[in-house]
A = this chain, B = another copy of it.
Amino acid sequence: MAVYTHLNADQVRAYIAGYGIGPLETYVGIADGVENTNYLLFTASGRYILTLYEKRVNEADLPYFLGLMEHLSERGIPCPVPLHDRSGQTLGQLAGRPAALVTFLEGIARSRIEPGHCRAVGRALAHLHTASSDFEESRPNGLSLDAWEQALAESEARLENYAAGLYEEVRDDFARVAAAWPSSLPKGVIHADLFPDNVFFRDGEVSGLIDFYFACNDFFAYDLAICINAWCFERDADFNITKAAALLKGYEEHRALAAEEIAALPILCAGSAMRFLFTRLADWDSTPSSAMVRPKDPAEYLGRLRFHRAARGPDSYGLETA
């Protein structure tokens, strides 16, 4: 839960004075988000989000994230638009922290996912991938193979503590995934965290994509694998092939997948499941059981990893290779 940094009205007023959005009418701290401090501002000209970047975001990456949001919004992606101050900057400083002012997006994240939502998300993801093709900045994916290898080495006790035998099981998965990881696939900017929380809908259509703070350059199909894990499993970790088929169909309405992307999906899905298994295990382990907010149970991603391990190939996902 944010707000980590409390802002008084004078601080907010002083900050927005440089942006020409009119006088402050009301502002409220937003409880969502675990990385940054967010305030919702109302002025005569509309609603805005004021974000203070806390320690978990690397300041050096902020121009990439803000530049990307601006680039995408100019190409019709419904994402927050960073505002420029009078000197042309989108990145400012407030309460000793990097700060940015962005537009507020209407819409509601889905708690119940239906295949139609998956199709809409697939389309939005493909749109994001193509719209960023001429974005010139680049940022490596810091949460890929190398990071998993390190997480695995550091997680032996954590894995065993969670379930006996789990370290060996995941170590074998890692070896398998690392050996089969594609060396080249179509790549570019990916969102890398497009969970249902980060997608707003209105009237069944995607009205907003938020939280670009894991965006990086990697295989497009890996972003799709993240979405398959995030959108196409039921609560009990059962794979819903109808949702996956809808997601892929939506994606291909805007960008056709190459044969090698389809062939790589099972291994990319396993890698993505491993990525979230490791971060959830770490959060699980570092949160005292007395905490008000329980972290998400790693079991979800363990179940998905096991599903992908057992997958015969793309046809297990409702796909066929050419």
Bound CA span A111–B24, Å = 14
A88-137 CB contacts (< 8 Å) to partner B: 106-112
Contact across chains for A30 and B27 when beta carbons are under 8 A apart:
no
Contact across chains for A26 and B106 when beta carbons are under 8 A apart:
yes
Query: How big is chain A's contact interface, by range?
Result: 20 to 34
Bound CA span A202–B3, Å = 24
- Judged by a CB distance under 8 angstroms, whether A168 is at the interface is no
A4, A40, A111, most chain B CB atoms within 10 A: A111
User: Chain B residues near A10 (CB, 8 Å)?
Assistant: 111-112
Bound CA span A312–B9, Å = 37
Chain B: minimal CB distance from A201 (Å):
9
Contact across chains for A40 and B28 when beta carbons are under 8 A apart:
yes
A9, A11, A24, A108, most chain B CB atoms within 10 A: A108
Chain B: minimal CB distance from A28 (Å):
5
Query: Given that A28-B32, A31-B2 are known contacts, is A8 also in contact with B111, CB under 8 Å in the complex?
Result: yes
Contact across chains for B107 and A31 when beta carbons are under 8 A apart:
no
Bound CA span A109–B27, Å = 9
User: Chain B residues near A11 (CB, 8 Å)?
Assistant: 111
A31 nearest in chain B by CB position: B29
Chain B: minimal CB distance from A35 (Å):
13
- Judged by a CB distance under 8 angstroms, whether A185 is at the interface is no
Bound CA span A3–B28, Å = 13
- Judged by a CB distance under 8 angstroms, whether A25 is at the interface is yes
- Judged by a CB distance under 8 angstroms, whether A60 is at the interface is no
- Judged by a CB distance under 8 angstroms, whether A292 is at the interface is yes
A1-26 CB contacts (< 8 Å) to partner B: 1-4, 8-11, 24-26
Contact across chains for B30 and A28 when beta carbons are under 8 A apart:
yes
Query: Given that A1-B3, A3-B1, A40-B40 are known contacts, is A27 also in contact with B292, CB under 8 Å in the complex?
Result: no
Contact across chains for B1 and A107 when beta carbons are under 8 A apart:
no
Chain B: minimal CB distance from A311 (Å):
30
Contact across chains for A31 and B9 when beta carbons are under 8 A apart:
no
Contact across chains for A9 and B111 when beta carbons are under 8 A apart:
yes
Between-chain CB contacts (< 8 Å), 5 pairs? A1-B29, A10-B112, A11-B111, A24-B108, A28-B28
- Taking Cβ atoms with an 8 Å cutoff, the residues of A that contact B are 1-4, 8-11, 24-32, 40, 42, 106-112, 200, 202, 292
Q: What 14 additional pairs, Cβ within 8 angstroms, besides A2-B31, A24-B108?
A: A1-B29, A1-B31, A9-B109, A9-B110, A10-B111, A26-B107, A26-B108, A28-B28, A28-B30, A28-B32, A29-B30, A29-B31, A29-B32, A42-B106
Q: Which 7 A-B pairs have the closest CB atoms?
A: A8-B111, A29-B31, A3-B31, A31-B31, A9-B108, A28-B30, A26-B106
